[in-house]
Structure 1
Amino acid sequence: MIALELHPRIIESKDWATIIFVFALVFIVVAKSAFENRFSDFIRLIVSDKYTKIYRESSHLMSGFNVLLLIVNLISFAFFIQLVLSHFGYGVKTDWILFVRIFTLLTVFILSKFLIEKIIATTFGIEEIIEQFNLQKVTFRTYIGLLLLPVSIFLFYEDFATNYLFFSIIGILLVINILTYVISLKIYQNLVIANLFYFILYLCALEIAPYYFIYYLITKN
């Protein structure tokens, strides 16, 4: 008689991710309801510069609209990073603890970078250019995060993603990020030229060095 050996079936729970995705959608709905006209202009950012012309003052940087979409942005990028790590064998996409770690690191990194930028800008007396430059970056990166959210949701619940797909998405994100800098520099070129020395120091210290160290730590480990 053949003995049957039973093995427990391990089912990975995705409920926590579903809840977080729902929260992200709720934040988007709240932003759309509370700032209807602004949200409408923001959605058309890719085809119209109306939003950047209307909301170009630095006072809009810490507005409720940007805070709501910043949370969505953090969720979107945290999930995408976790998906990339999972795909290349450095984690599990259903590990909620890993998501919390990535989300926390992203939040600390962004807030710390913002605080240091404020300190440096105040020290060098270039608050105006840095705040306007940051607002421009935040606007485009938030837009990228909003577009990336449905992609992250789709990839999370599907398992057919390939290396080519992930490298393509990462490549597109890098290109858009570079274009963001180019557009921002073009818009604020007069302010940049007037404070060129300090702006170069800012780029080297806070726009190049942090990402270089992150790359070094990842490749080192």
Structure 2
Amino acid sequence: MEPIEKTIVSLDWMTITLFVGLVILALGKYLFHKKFLNFIILPFNDKYILLHNKKGQFSHWFYLLLTLFQLVNFSLFIFLVLTTFDLFPVEGTVINYLLILGFLALFELVKFLLQMFTGFVFNNIGFVGGLIFSKISYLNYSSIIICMANILLIYITTNSKTTIYVALAMIFLINGIGLTKLLKNHQKALFPYFMYFILYLCTLEIAPLVIIGSYLKG
């Protein structure tokens, strides 16, 4: 019987990454307990958006902690998706993850600045800021689902495409609920900016998803 070489991928850095993410979430819950209680029921109740959608919301520590939690987990999820679909080699996994994390952070920052600049051009930064806050809040909520998916993909259902598809479906469902509520609550205010809103959806929301989807399909 000839020995077969088997590459064993260390999960240490993934475990540390998950732990760091959970510590960030726990810190947000501990320091801002009331905000967290409102946030955790976000898809069923808009109380979090209504209470905290005000001036300075983007610089509040609770928002920053949740966004950091989102970046850590979404980056890890993207890494696991790319690994599952064999879109890059196993070697240099930590470096690959850090590159994804850096790219995602830069992408979200540039996107945020472009959106705020658009609000400045339309002389309605407050309104646009409220829309961005609502959208990112639902995205941050989705990261809780992604965190659970990451745990499954790393320790239980390794390389499971089903887990990935279910997680993606949950993300679209949660953010779909958020978009529906946003349109319902701001339909009168959005009407004068309807063409801008369609342009915004096409260029800054749909286009990146189409590009990523085309890449995965190819």
TM-score category, normalised to shorter length: 0.7 to 0.9
CA distance in 2, matches of 1:22, 1:202: 36
Cα 1:60–1:115, aligned 2, differ >3 Å: closer, same or farther? Answer: same
Query: Which TM-score applies when normalising by structure 1?
Result: 0.86
2:129 is equivalent to residue 138 of structure 1: no
> What letter corresponds to residue 81 of structure 2 in structure 1?
V
Check if 1:78 corresponds to 2:65: no
Q: After superposing the two structures, state which structure 1 stretch, 140-149 or 153-162, moved more.
A: 153-162
What residue is the counterpart of 1:19 in the other structure?
Answer: 16
Aligned partner of 1:68: which letter? L
Distance 1:150 1:211, change over 3 A: closer
Residue in structure 2 matched with residue 128 of structure 1 by the alignment: 126
- Aligned-pair distance for 1:218? 4.8
Computing the radius of gyration from Cα coordinates, the structure with the larger value is 1
Cα distance in 1 between the residues matched to 2:169 and 2:116 = 30
CA contact (8 A) 1:32 1:39 kept: yes
Deviations 1:161-196 (A, max 9, x none): 533332222223223323321211111112101322
* Conserved? CA contact 2:157–2:163, under 8 Å: no
Q: 99-108 vs 86-95, which deviates more? A: 86-95
My pick for the range that moved more, 18-27 or 165-174, is 165-174
TM-score normalised by L of structure 2: 0.87
Provide the rounded CA distance (Å) in 2 between the counterparts of 1:150 and 1:46. Answer: 17
Q: Is the 8 A contact 2:152 2:158 kept in 1?
A: no
Residue matched to 2:85:
88
CA RMSD of aligned residues (A): 2.4
User: Which of the numbers 45, 61, 72 marks the counterpart of 1:48?
Assistant: 45
Q: Are the structure 2 counterparts of residues 84 and 62 from structure 1 closer, same or farther at C-alpha, using a change threshold of 3 Å?
A: same
Q: Give 2:208's match in structure 1, choosing from 201, 207, 210.
A: 210
Query: Which shifted more, 208-217 or 175-184?
Result: 208-217
Q: Are 2:192 and 1:194 aligned?
A: yes
Cα distance in 1 for residues equivalent to 2:123 and 2:10: 51
In the alignment, residue 105 of structure 1 is paired with which amino acid?
F
Gaps of 5+ in 2: none
Bigger shift: 179-188 or 206-215?
Answer: 206-215
Distance 2:23 2:153 in 1: 20
- 2:168 counterpart of 1:170: yes
Task: Using the TM superposition, name which of 42-51 and 116-125 deviates more.
Answer: 42-51
Of 92, 96, 101, 2:99 maps to 101
2:33 equivalent to 1:36: yes
Question: What SS does the corresponding residue of 2:79 show, helix, strand or coil?
Answer: helix
* Runs (5+) with no aligned partner, structure 1: none
Secondary structure at the counterpart of residue 41 of structure 2: helix
Q: Please list the CA deviations of residues 116-171 of structure 1 after superposition, one character each: whole Å capped at 9, or x if unmatched.
A: 11112111223122111111111111011023212212211234553333222222
